[in-house]
Amino acid sequence: MNIAVCIKQVPATESKIKPAEDGLDIDRTGLSYVVNPYDEFGVEEALKIKEQVGEGKVTVISIGSDKTVEALRTCLAVGADEAIHIKDDALAKGDTYITALVLSVALKKGDYDIIFFGRQAIDDDSGAVGIQVAELMGLPHVAGINKFDLNAEGRTAIANRQIEGASEIVETSLPAIFTCQKELNEPRYASLPGIMKARQKPMTVWSLSDLELTAEDCGAEAAKVAIEKITSPPVREAGKKIEGDVPQAVAELVRLLREEAKVF
Ligand SMILES: Cc1cc2nc3c(=O)[nH]c(=O)nc-3n(C[C@H](O)[C@H](O)[C@H](O)COP(=O)(O)OP(=O)(O)OC[C@H]3O[C@@H](n4cnc5c(N)ncnc54)[C@H](O)[C@@H]3O)c2cc1C
């Protein structure tokens, strides 16, 4: 059973994000990075399936700068078998389509039965890449899964999705793509031996030419969506505290709602 997990390195959740001066990216000064939390569910599920089946390989794949190696090593430390790092300067201004195109070409080079993605990356939040890869590869996909079961022969899988007020149970043939939602599992932590072993595990580096893609296929001109500007949300005005005894305060509240907030 060969399983691939596409992971993205994202700013840590506690990071204070502000736009960069050019308004086209975030200011990355002093940020610390983690594996996108939804992708960690994918890595954990892949490891559990491999343990359940008793054989197979878990490959983690990421597109990103040299720093991305840290995220890939984190996944190797918890138990993934090998990593593929795709880096190329031409990819710096890609959109979800370019990301999906490059990942789909890379994934086609492997013979994967199951491919996991996070349901969304917590920085850009598009929630699009996994589904776009499924479309580009012509594979079935199940989005936002919170339970996964492999059938006895490993030819189909049953996944649950939480929908409004109910749980949807979907059976699909394999190979297939799944995007992971948070209740799927409890990701494990890396052990010290795991961290040591990760340094010896294979990490393949591919550029666009290794994937027979060009800068024209994957540059800003090929993107379908362009970011026009990144801005901070407007600063919220401070709340108003109404002083005085209750009848006075209620009268003042009603006046403010009528005259200032104009809610009636
Ligand atoms: C300098 C800069 C310029 C940019 N310009 C643009 C632009 O002009 N237009 C635009 O639309 N976007 C732009 N982006 C955003 C960037 O292209 C997005 O990161 C990308 O589109 C993926 O979207 P997302 O992170 O929201 O993914 P989602 O669709 O939310 O991610 C879902 C899942 O896909 C997988 N995934 C996502 N990214 C990767 C990855 N890199 N490697 C492996 N797996 C991955 C993960 O499993 C993830 O959980 C820019 C980013 C930077 C840093």
For 173-227, how does the pLDDT look when each residue is reduced to its tens digit (9 = 90+)?
999 999 999 999 999 999 999 999 999 999 999 999 999 999 999 988 899 998 8
Helix%, strand%, coil% for the chain, nearest 5: 35, 25, 40
Question: Into how many domains does the chain fold?
Answer: 1
Give me the pLDDT at residue 108, please: 98
Cβ of residue 226 lying under 6 Å from some atom of ligand 1? yes
Identify the residue whose C-alpha is closest to ligand 1 atom 5: 93
**Is 91 within a domain?**
yes
Q: Whose CA is nearest to atom 34 of ligand 1?
A: 129
User: Does a structural domain hold residue 125?
Assistant: yes
Please state whether the predicted TM-score (pTM) of the whole model is above 0.75: yes
pLDDT at site 255: 93
Does residue 53 sit within a domain? yes
Q: How many CA atoms lie within 13 A of 80 on its CB side?
A: 32
Domain hosting 73: range is 2-222
Structure tokens at 148: 């996964």
Task: Give the rounded distance of the alpha carbon of 12 from its chain centre.
Answer: 13
* Amino acid at site 23: G
Pocket test for ligand 1, best of 27, 96, 104, 208 (most atoms within 8 A of CB): 96
Residue with tokens 């999906």: 100
Residue 260: inside a domain, yes or no?
no
* 257 belongs to a structural domain: no
**Position in ligand 1 atom list of the atom nearest CA 124:** 26
Q: Is residue 263 part of a domain?
A: no
Which residue's alpha carbon is at the smallest distance from atom 15 of ligand 1? 95
Q: For residue 147, what are its two tokens? A: 């339970």
Cβ contact 81:58 at 8 Å:
yes
State if residue 219 touches ligand 1 by the CB under 6 angstroms criterion: no
Cβ distance 87 to 228 under 8 Å? no
- pLDDT lower than 70: segments of the chain: none
Which residues are CB-neighbours of 78 under 8 A, at least 6 positions away?
Answer: 43, 44, 47, 187, 188, 189, 190, 194
Joined together, the tokens standing for residue 169 give 């149970």
CB 35 within 8 A of CB 61: no
Ligand 1 center from residue 68 Cα (angstroms): 13
Which protein residue's CA is at the shortest distance from atom 39 of ligand 1? Answer: 8
pLDDT of the residue at 93: 83
CA distances from 85 to 8, 59, 62, 102, 163 (A): 11, 11, 5, 12, 34
**Do 154 and 118 form a contact (C-beta atoms < 8 A)?**
no
Q: Find out whether the peptide bond into 175 is cis, omega within 30 degrees of 0.
A: yes
In angstroms, the CA 7 to CA 117 distance is 7
Q: Are 218 and 100 in contact (CB under 8 A)?
A: no
Looking up tokens 């090929």, which residue turns up? 222
Write the CATH number for 115.
3.40.50.620
- Residue 22 lies inside a defined structural domain of this protein: yes
Instruction: Give the pLDDT confidence score for residue 219 in this predicted structure.
Output: 85
- Evaluate whether residue 236 is within a structural domain: no
